[in-house]
């Protein structure tokens, strides 16, 4: 029974690690509620230090503006842009995206309030900022732009909207263009620089995401919130808030991107793949606490007199939809963070999406995926259940050994092994189903946890959202009952203490599952039900033999 003890310890360790991780994340500072008024909540103390310094710019001139020279002023003039999926506020002071509402994603099921990413409130500040750096004639993200109108709405039959913002100083004309497309969370941003002077203009563009520290986790469910970046050498790297405080990121590469991610949603800056950028992070102070910056600066471009040059960037603001991210930039789909078990989680995610495309219900897709996994492991499980059935059949003989030999453990072990050999029983074989199920369970856990498609997706009856815990705890209790029933089909442990611990496991797991997404509990109930049927049939067959 040592193998059964190992399985028990592993299961308890997994539960303990999950609870400890959740406890750690739960005790981080929480994001305060966003204030609705855009003008009333603009930061009252702008941070000059968030303008990139000269040493952060690729091929920059020594005369580029330093952080200390910035003269930030907050504007109350804004431009609102509404598409079929986005409701965005752009501040003309800097031309920054300071508020974003995702129209297809309610904050709560049935709520009219939608998920807000970019946010102008002081406590939950989150903005996409950009500007130019040059010796003369360059608007940073505090410069005042002029807008042609205060609102743009994507009309029926219209495929895109372009929002121009203009700035001019000392003969340098800069037009900042945002382009929005129907049904798309990808925004094209372009700086057009026209040189009307007699001297050559040279400068760089910078783009950055700045936000207050927030924690998007919920009790017992940890998800990563913070900075990330990608390039072909380092691949996908996380830059946690603590990492930014310890050391500024300072790397130059092409074919990359940077982002701030959270559970289900992200904001990413994607430059041209042919452009080398310097990627940076920094921490800036405000009277409302620390703010964290992930950004990138381009190589320098030169503009001759009477000529025009462009700086382009793509900005993704929206849900982490795997197949959409894959086509935007290499590695961007890694923001759908499946953790260490990506090799298991990603195929499950893909299979789950395919099944859903057929049945049209995410709950039934989970059930059918579980059936498919059960069929895949059927031969191995079949052999294991046969071994367990044989073990159960010989357990009365094993129990008599203790009565016969008392405390002579060496003799008991020898006689017990002889009984197993005589009846062709492999004690370890019965543990395989649980050992196989654990990585599959954890892989599916991350697949379900990271699937924004399951957010607020209904199943049947009282289950209206597969991404949250069962509000009535009905399914976790059913899951615990199925574990208890399955235990009755297994041979009882010879050790009384071990037997008591095994009896407690259904209760412990039921309580643990109270806090997990109901989609994961649905998988466990389906898997246990199928296992009970399979094991019952095999056990009866062995008993009849």
pLDDT value at residue 364: 94
Beta bridge partners of 101: 87, 116
CA distances from 503 to 14, 432, 483, 492, 533 (A): 18, 20, 10, 10, 20
pLDDT at 29 over 70: no
Q: Which residues are within 8 A (CB) of 457 and not within 5 positions of it... i.e. 6 or more apart?
A: 362, 363, 465, 466, 467
The DSSP code sequence of 124-171 is T-EEEEEEEEESSS---TTSBPEES-SEEE--TT--EEEEEEEEEETT
Residue bearing the bigger pLDDT, 101 or 9: 101
pLDDT value at residue 528: 85
- Name the band, by pLDDT with cuts 50, 70 and 90, for residue 408: low
- Name the band, by pLDDT with cuts 50, 70 and 90, for residue 441: confident
Residues 332, 326 contacting (CB under 8 angstroms)? yes
- Per-residue pLDDT of 72-111, as tens digits, reads 434 458 999 999 999 999 999 999 999 999 999 998 887 8
pLDDT at 146 over 80: yes
Mean of pLDDT over the chain: 79
pLDDT value at residue 467: 83
Among 37-51, 402-416, 453-467, name the one with the lowest average pLDDT: 37-51
Which H or E element spans position 26? helix 2-26
Average pLDDT over residues 139-158: 93
List where CATH 2.70.98.90 sits in the chain: 31-337
Give the distance between the most distant pair of CA atoms in the chain: 106
CA distances from 311 to 67, 136, 137, 269 (A): 22, 17, 15, 13
CA–CA dist 366, 63 (Å, integer): 59
pLDDT value at residue 21: 45
- Name the band, by pLDDT with cuts 50, 70 and 90, for residue 153: very high
Which H or E element spans position 335? none
The position carrying tokens 């961007």 is: 332
- Name the band, by pLDDT with cuts 50, 70 and 90, for residue 62: very low
The position carrying tokens 């498609």 is: 453
Average pLDDT over residues 255-282: 93
CATH number of this structure's domain 31-337: 2.70.98.90
């Amino acid at each position: 029974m040592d193998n059964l003890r190992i399985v028990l310890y592993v299961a308890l360790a997994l539960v303990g690690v999950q609870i400890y991780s959740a406890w750690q994340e739960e005790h981080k500072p929480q994001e305060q509620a966003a204030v609705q008024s855009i003008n009333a909540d603009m930061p009252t103390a702008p941070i000059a230090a968030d303008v990139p310094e000269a040493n952060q710019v690729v091929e920059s001139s020594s005369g580029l503006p330093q952080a200390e020279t910035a003269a930030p002023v907050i504007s109350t003039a804004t431009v609102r842009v509404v598409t079929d999926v986005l409701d965005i506020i752009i501040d003309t002071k800097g031309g920054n995206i300071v508020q974003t509402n995702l129209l297809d994603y309610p904050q709560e099921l049935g709520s009219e309030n939608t998920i807000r990413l970019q946010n102008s409130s002081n406590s939950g500040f989150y903005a996409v900022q950009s500007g130019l750096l040059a010796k003369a004639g360059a608007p940073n993200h505090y410069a005042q732009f002029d807008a042609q109108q205060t609102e743009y709405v994507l009309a029926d039959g219209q495929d895109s909207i372009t929002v121009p913002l203009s700035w001019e100083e000392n003969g340098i004309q800069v037009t900042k263009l945002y382009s929005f497309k129907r049904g798309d969370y990808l925004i094209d941003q372009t700086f057009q620089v026209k040189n009307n002077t007699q001297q050559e203009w040279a400068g760089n563009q910078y783009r950055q995401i700045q936000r207050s520290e927030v924690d998007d986790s919920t009790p017992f469910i940890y998800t990563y919130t913070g900075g990330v970046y990608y390039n072909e050498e380092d691949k996908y790297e996380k830059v946690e808030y603590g990492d930014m405080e310890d050391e500024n990121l300072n790397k130059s590469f092409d074919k990359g991107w940077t982002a701030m991610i959270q559970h289900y949603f992200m904001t990413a800056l994607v430059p041209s793949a042919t452009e080398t950028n310097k990627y940076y992070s920094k921490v800036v102070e405000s009277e409302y606490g620390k703010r964290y910056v992930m950004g990138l600066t381009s190589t320098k471009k030169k503009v001759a007199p009477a000529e025009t040059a462009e700086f382009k960037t793509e900005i993704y603001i929206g849900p982490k939809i795997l197949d959409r991210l894959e086509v935007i930039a290499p590695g961007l789909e890694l923001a759908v963070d499946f953790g260490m078990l990506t090799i298991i989680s990603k195929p499950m995610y893909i299979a789950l999406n395919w099944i859903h495309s057929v049945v049209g219900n995410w709950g039934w897709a989970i059930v059918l995926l579980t059936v498919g996994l059960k069929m895949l492991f059927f031969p191995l499980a079949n052999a294991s259940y046969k071994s367990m059935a044989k073990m159960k059949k010989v357990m009365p003989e094993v129990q008599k050994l203790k009565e016969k030999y008392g405390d002579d453990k060496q003799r008991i072990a020898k006689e017990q092994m002889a009984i197993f050999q005589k009846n062709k029983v492999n004690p370890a074989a019965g543990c395989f189903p649980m050992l196989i199920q654990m990585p599959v369970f954890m892989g599916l856990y991350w697949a379900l946890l990271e699937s924004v498609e399951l957010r607020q997706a209904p199943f049947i009856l009282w289950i209206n959202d597969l991404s949250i815990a069962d509000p009535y705890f009905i399914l976790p209790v059913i899951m615990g009952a199925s574990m208890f029933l399955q235990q009755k089909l297994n041979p009882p442990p010879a050790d009384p203490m071990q037997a008591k611990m095994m009896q407690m496991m259904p209760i412990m797991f039921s309580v643990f599952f109270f806090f997990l997404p109901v989609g994961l509990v649905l998988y466990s109930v389906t898997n246990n039900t199928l296992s009970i049927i399979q094991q019952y049939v095999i056990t009866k067959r062995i008993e009849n033999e």
